[in-house]
Amino acid sequence: MNHTRITQIGDGFVEGVSHNPEISKQVLLRAGLINHLQQLAIATLHPDQQTMKHIHEDLDEVFVVLSGSGVAEIDGQQCALIIGNCVHIPPGCLHSFKNDGQGALVLLYFGIGR
């Protein structure tokens, strides 16, 4: 049976990210729809918002900067985030994100379980 799914960005339920509930995300695809996919979502960090430093032991994450600017800290190294950047964070890497810009930092991201 075909289970095609179409989700419109900007429509639907918005929730807080687990690493800072004040940062909003729209989940486009949830775990269970595609093998190993934990979620596909868009997170919006407003100026000066940041996630807690955290590690996923069994999850690869990929982030694409759709708008804004910020800084990713990955295993103690600072990486500038600008529109169009694609960042892969392998399992076991301590990481966080911060919006250091004037406008919203918008990240499209997905996690793949191992």
Q: What is the widest separation between alpha-carbon atoms in the chain? A: 47
Rounded mean pLDDT of 94-98?
A: 98
Average model confidence (pLDDT) across the chain? 92
95-98 vs 70-74, strand pairing mode:
antiparallel
Task: Report the predicted TM-score, pTM, of the whole model to 2 decimal places.
Answer: 0.89
CB 5 within 8 A of CB 78: no
In this structure, of 28-32, 40-44, 90-94, the range with the lowest mean pLDDT score is 28-32
Q: Is the pLDDT of residue 92 over 90?
A: yes
- What secondary structure letter does DSSP report for 3? -
Q: Which CATH class is domain 14-113?
A: mainly beta
Q: Is the pLDDT of residue 1 over 90?
A: no
What's the pLDDT at 11? 75
